[in-house]
Structure 1
């Protein structure tokens, strides 16, 4: 079956929706061996793939929808060791890291003193002796500098914390067939692994892997951290399964937008607060009371006073809505800006994300978007646009 019954080929032309750096991936050469042509997506050369096997006009997002997609990822992984690792992490992010059970992870936000979002991270409390931190590739240098600077500050006062940057490759296996495909090469029972949980294991004979049940598509999926020297081997084994195809970032971008997930650099950045972005759920209750994370006073004051702008979803018909387009109110006055947008293969209409004045943020509000100097009707729509399929063990 496909995502919520969706079997529509993703035939649109994808484009760069965010920031990125020119990076190679250990399995970047695999695409050419599987009838795929790589194009640019946010500066990553081994991205945005069209496959002849599916038809030159079809994006591989179609395969993610009705089968399982394999996406090489350039996300940065940092390991945090030491008895003070949780205190270290909580001095930088808004989440309640101390409450995470062994193997459990959470999406959290790295914030600045003005309450802005420096990056969105996934932090996992591994069952071993460290925290596993995944950050965006475009923010890798910035994030690492912040982590290292804070670690040095704590070390100077006698705290026990140290960092190690992982050189593993990361493969994202996403889609309805993921569990069946991966279970065939996994000694562990995948049915016991819930969304946002992680295990260290062997995958199709490759030891030293970390499998985390998460992803950036809204589908049931995993991200596999694999030793770089064997990344191509594992990718080839996965791509040898009939249901698995190599997918590009443009395909993944349409899926994450359908799922209502933010893209750093477009939908959130250092000028946007968690309150404005609708991400207050990432703040742990204990952390809200303690107010001991960067920008806490600004963020909590904004919650009390209500933010002046809010992140919203939009749907429309006609020309596609793209980033930076103006959102206009009933009288034609600008009330916001689009931050992400594309045609939705599942819904058969345009979807977008953006920020509007709070007075215009209620679902069902009719606005217009200016596309090539012409105004087109748009409606504020609740997200996710397409129901997510995150898996929770019974």
Structure 2
């Protein structure tokens, strides 16, 4: 099977990353410094993760709130604009199809991020339940995660307004002229941000972030150890159709 590559593939290879297959993509599992040092650096400063393999989409149109609530048992009616919530996409028996982050972008408009290994099935499942709403799958968007106690200092220099965001809040902004949507969220247990941006701008923005003295590139190996240490679930391990909070 031919593996897909993220918009940062060239950068990963320049940085000496060890590339491995993951969810249909070639992804960096570690860089020359190694997983342990990458893990510790994220805990002490700031790490940059390429998570562009994950699925991003918008759901828009009348009834979108009720539709999503019927598929993911979470209170979206009470969710304010530019606020995010963690949710589980379930089947009719309560089994977990996937976990995801949902952000309200306006009345009956939601942006959400799903796991790479599940995204095709997730999108098909949502499309099968559409009743006049529109599902816009963002195949030309990349996703970067800047995580760690130094992330806010880095963001203050690159995007001061976004640096004021509190946990699970988001905003539209610009980094070096590139239109981005930034949320204060992550998968490490640290303070940090996730940056959704056009795929053709991802390489330049990533290089800009890596120019900061606090920032180092971090691979999937440390991403996994960081989320384990923080007690965060990984779909297919702690969550699945057969494993759920009930």
What TM-score do you get using the length of structure 1 for normalisation? 0.59
Aligned position for 2:221? 250
Quote the Cα distance in structure 1 between the aligned partners of 2:4 and 2:137: 16
Quote the Cα distance in structure 2 between the aligned partners of 1:267 and 1:133: 21
Q: Is the contact between residue 50 and residue 59 of structure 1 (CA under 8 Å) also seen in structure 2?
A: no
Q: Is the contact between residue 49 and residue 247 of structure 1 (CA under 8 Å) also seen in structure 2?
A: yes
The structure 1 residue matched to 2:31, chosen from 23, 36, 50, is 50
Cα deviation digits, residues 47-66 of structure 1 (max 9, x gap): 21222xx4x68542232122
Larger radius of gyration: 1
Residue 69 in structure 1 maps to residue 47 in structure 2: yes
Cα deviation digits, residues 326-368 of structure 1 (max 9, x gap): xxxxxxxxxxxxxxxxxxxxxxxxxxxxxxxxxxxxxxxxxxx
Structure 2 gaps, min length 5 = none
Structural RMSD (CA): 1.8
Residues 73-84 of structure 1 aligned to structure 2 (within 5 Å): 73=51, 74-84=53-63
Give the superposition deviation at 1:113: 1.2
Give the superposition deviation at 1:28: 1.8
Quote the Cα distance in structure 1 between the aligned partners of 2:231 and 2:35: 26
Give the superposition deviation at 1:265: 0.6
What TM-score do you get using the length of structure 2 for normalisation? 0.92
Aligned position for 1:233? 204
Go from structure 1 to structure 2 and tell me whether the alpha carbon gap of 1:104 and 1:40 turns closer, same or farther (over 3 Å shift). same
Quote the Cα distance in structure 1 between the aligned partners of 2:66 and 2:91: 17
Residues 1-394 of structure 1 aligned to structure 2 (within 5 Å): 22-34=3-15, 36-40=16-20, 42-43=22-23, 44-51=25-32, 54=33, 59-73=37-51, 74-127=53-106, 130-151=109-130, 154-155=131-132, 161-166=133-138, 167-188=140-161, 190-191=163-164, 193-207=165-179, 209-275=180-246
Quote the Cα distance in structure 2 between the aligned partners of 1:22 and 1:124: 29
Q: Is the contact between residue 162 and residue 173 of structure 2 (CA under 8 Å) also seen in structure 1?
A: no
Go from structure 1 to structure 2 and tell me whether the alpha carbon gap of 1:274 and 1:57 turns closer, same or farther (over 3 Å shift). closer
Give the superposition deviation at 1:22: 4.0
SS at match of 1:268: coil
Cα deviation digits, residues 62-106 of structure 1 (max 9, x gap): 321221111100110110111211011111111001110111010
Give the superposition deviation at 1:185: 1.3
Quote the Cα distance in structure 2 between the aligned partners of 1:33 and 1:116: 42
Quote the Cα distance in structure 1 between the aligned partners of 2:36 and 2:110: 39
Q: Is the contact between residue 60 and residue 110 of structure 2 (CA under 8 Å) also seen in structure 1?
A: yes
Quote the Cα distance in structure 2 between the aligned partners of 1:37 and 1:109: 32
SS at match of 1:218: coil
Runs ≥4 residues deviating over 3 A: 41-44, 56-59
Quote the Cα distance in structure 1 between the aligned partners of 2:94 and 2:168: 25
Cα deviation digits, residues 160-187 of structure 1 (max 9, x gap): x111011210001100110010111115
Go from structure 1 to structure 2 and tell me whether the alpha carbon gap of 1:41 and 1:71 turns closer, same or farther (over 3 Å shift). farther
Q: Is the contact between residue 65 and residue 108 of structure 2 (CA under 8 Å) also seen in structure 1?
A: no
Quote the Cα distance in structure 1 between the aligned partners of 2:198 and 2:92: 36
Cα deviation digits, residues 8-51 of structure 1 (max 9, x gap): xxxxxxxxxxxxx94311012212323x3223263542221222
Q: Is the contact between residue 155 and residue 162 of structure 2 (CA under 8 Å) also seen in structure 1?
A: no
Larger RCO: 1 or 2 (CA < 8 Å, sep 6+): 2
Give the superposition deviation at 1:206: 1.3
